[in-house]
Amino acid sequence: MIISNYMKNEHRECDSLFAKAEEAIAANNWEEANTQFLAFANETLKHFKSEEEELFPAFEKATGMANGPTQVMRYEHEQVRGLIGNMAEAIEKEDRDAALSLCESLMILLQQHNMKEEQMLYAMCDRQLPTQLKETTLEAIKKVTL
Amino acid sequence: MSLHKIMLDTRDLEHPIPLEKAIKALHTLEDNNYLYMLHRKNPIPLLDLAKEHQFQVLSQEDNTQIWHILIAKDKHINLNDLLDV
């Protein structure tokens, strides 16, 4: 379960940063909101990049499923990227109502997305990728930078 | 047009094998067939995936706590008529 364990942990780290950003927005603490949201956005985008560049291609190659789960995950990544951009704008304008509303949309989208990855994609990667490929993929994931 | 039922009984299979088999079965769906899956639980990620690929989906639990999941490519198929609960 090395893929599941590592990637789930990244999800939890992103969740934690997101919660801190949301808390700061609710408190009208814009400097802190900006710092925490930037950290969340960077971690999330790095996580997406590692999936799109390393994990998904490994899965697609091993299973032959190029237009299955990974296609949907890539589409959802784009949706999240769009919301992250909108949230950054709302935080920059210090628009509390807009930022909190976007927080809610983003949280719902991420929860559903993460559930699909954790219950389906990561589990399938752990079962279907050969051990050595899992290890090399994980090493490559750890090296990804924004 | 007669509909061909692709039966997939995953009640005894360990996670994530039911999902793998179902995803493979989705690729074989045409307008004249549908997937009928039996599973221990409602596979929400699979249902979401199928919906996002524009498949029609129906899932219902029977009185023995087994989930019946029906997936079709053709939007005109009435899945309720095909449900065997």
Residue B50 belongs to domain with CATH number? 3.30.110.40
Interface predicted TM-score of the whole assembly (ipTM), two decimals: 0.77
Per-residue model confidence (pLDDT) at position A3: 97
| Model confidence at A57: pLDDT above 70 | yes
- Which residue of chain B is at minimal alpha-carbon distance from A124? B16
The residue-averaged pLDDT of B14-26 equals: 94
| Model confidence at A110: pLDDT above 90 | yes
We report the CATH number of the domain holding residue A44 as 1.20.120.520
Domain count, chain A: 1
**pLDDT tens figures, B53-81:** 999 999 999 999 999 999 999 999 999 99
* Residue ranges making up the domain that contains B31: 4-82
Per-residue model confidence (pLDDT) at position A44: 98
* Residue ranges making up the domain that contains A90: 2-143
**pLDDT tens figures, A29-42:** 999 999 999 999 99
The model's pTM: 0.88
Nearest to A72 among B19, B24, B49 (CB): B49
Interchain proximity B19–A112, CB inside 8 Å: no
**Which residues 41-80 of A are in CB contact (within 8 Å) with B?**
63, 65, 68-69, 72, 75
Let me know: does A108 contact A64? Beta carbons within 8 Å: no
Interchain proximity B49–A116, CB inside 8 Å: yes
Domain count, chain B: 1
Let me know: does A6 contact A126? Beta carbons within 8 Å: no
Per-residue model confidence (pLDDT) at position B23: 94
